């Protein structure tokens, strides 16, 4: 879920649909919009020599898309063995129950309400299927239940909506919190430093080949926006809608409702830290 169009200086990447790394294939859902960019990226992840695959974020409840994901996996010689969710927003998770029925798989997620089966996902968990290893990285902030998945074998991380391939993401107040989001970005940055992660496989938009640059961009962008909001309040703009109209004046008005969620999160953060 994007907050704004691409901004100057943001890293950009390549593929929108098809193979992305040695172990991942992206199937783009047909749900493009101002909020979802080109559509939701549904990820098929598997070891090259395995016949089992994991699917991350089946996407919206669109039978043609869900069947296409299964078909792409089968064309690659894979059977879908497990479904994972980065978070519960409908553009990522609405089709999960139907997809699980079609593939006879379980659905694992942080939020118990989204799970099908007994196993959830949490910090420190490692998902192993057909020789594949995915490490669960809690990345709350966009939503409380947001997760990322570290794929060490490809030095990649699947970020859901925490980092997008283009533009910036919404801190979806009140479920999302800015302090949590900043901590999550720092956690992802540590993967680029300590674990050699260089590729971001996002929930929307193209693949980013400079993971550290992407995280640094996001951290700088958040700091810049926070300073803008603080200054706006100091200048007499008090309500979230007033702040949005001032700070996001150059952004398409169709994105203002999403921007207002982030502004509410920023105002809450500034109050919590005694800055306004």
The whole-number pLDDT of residue 1 equals: 60
* Structural contact between residues 81 and 53, judged by C-beta atoms closer than 8 angstroms: yes
In a domain, 22, yes or no: yes
In a domain, 225, yes or no: no
Q: How many structural domains is the chain composed of?
A: 1
Q: Say if residue 104's pLDDT is above 90.
A: yes
Calculate the average pLDDT of the chain: 94
In a domain, 276, yes or no: no
Q: Say if residue 129's pLDDT is above 60.
A: yes
List pLDDT tens digits, range 14-54. Answer: 567 899 999 999 999 999 998 999 999 999 999 999 999 99
The whole-number pLDDT of residue 227 equals: 97
Task: Return d(Cα 219, Cα 149) in angstroms, integer.
Answer: 20
In a domain, 89, yes or no: yes
| Mean pLDDT on 61-84 | 98
Kindly indicate the confidence band of residue 274, based on its pLDDT and cuts at 50, 70 and 90: very high
Structure tokens at 106: 């379980």
Task: Return d(Cα 199, Cα 158) in angstroms, integer.
Answer: 9
| Mean pLDDT on 169-177 | 96
* Sheet strands side by side (includes 199-202): 126-129, 132-138, 147-151, 156-160, 199-202
Q: Say if residue 9's pLDDT is above 60.
A: no
For residue 208, what are the β-bridge partners? 200
In a domain, 50, yes or no: yes
Range of the domain at 124: 2-210
In a domain, 275, yes or no: no
* Structural contact between residues 27 and 42, judged by C-beta atoms closer than 8 angstroms: yes
* Alpha carbon 252 to chain centroid, angstroms: 22
The whole-number pLDDT of residue 137 equals: 98
Q: What is the pTM of this model?
A: 0.94
Question: Residue 116, exposed/middle/buried by CB under 10 A (0-12, 13-18, 19+)?
Answer: middle
Question: What's the CATH number where 104 sits?
Answer: 3.60.15.10
Angle between helices 256-272 and 178-194 (to 10 degrees): 90
In a domain, 63, yes or no: yes
In a domain, 255, yes or no: no
């Amino acid at each position: 879920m994007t907050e704004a169009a691409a901004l100057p200086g943001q890293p950009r990447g390549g593929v929108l649909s098809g193979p992305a790394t040695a172990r991942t294939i992206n199937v783009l859902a047909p749900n493009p919009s101002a909020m979802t960019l080109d559509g939701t990226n549904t990820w098929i992840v598997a070891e090259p020599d395995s016949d089992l695959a994991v699917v991350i974020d089946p996407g919206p409840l669109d039978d043609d898309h869900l069947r296409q994901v299964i078909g792409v996996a089968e064309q690659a010689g894979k059977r879908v063995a497990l479904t994972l969710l980065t978070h519960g927003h409908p553009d990522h998770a609405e089709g999960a129950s139907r997809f699980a029925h079609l593939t006879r798989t379980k659905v694992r997620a942080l939020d118990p309400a989204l799970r099908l089966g007994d196993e959830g996902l949490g910090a420190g968990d490692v998902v192993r299927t057909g020789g594949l290893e995915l490490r669960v990285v809690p990345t709350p902030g966009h939503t409380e239940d947001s997760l990322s998945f570290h794929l060490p074998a490809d030095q990649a991380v699947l970020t859901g909506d925490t980092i997008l391939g283009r533009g910036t993401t919404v801190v979806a107040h009140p479920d999302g919190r800015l302090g949590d989001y900043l901590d999550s970005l720092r956690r992802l940055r540590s993967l680029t430093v300590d674990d050699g992660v260089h590729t971001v496989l996002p929930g929307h938009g193209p693949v980013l080949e400079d993971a550290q640059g992407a995280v640094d961009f996001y951290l700088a962008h958040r700091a810049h926006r926070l300073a803008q909001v603080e200054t706006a309040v100091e200048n007499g703009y008090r309500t979230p809608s007033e702040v949005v109209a001032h700070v996001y004046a150059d952004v398409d008005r169709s994105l203002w409702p999403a921007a207002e969620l982030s502004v509410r999160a920023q105002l809450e953060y500034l109050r919590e830290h005694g800055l306004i």
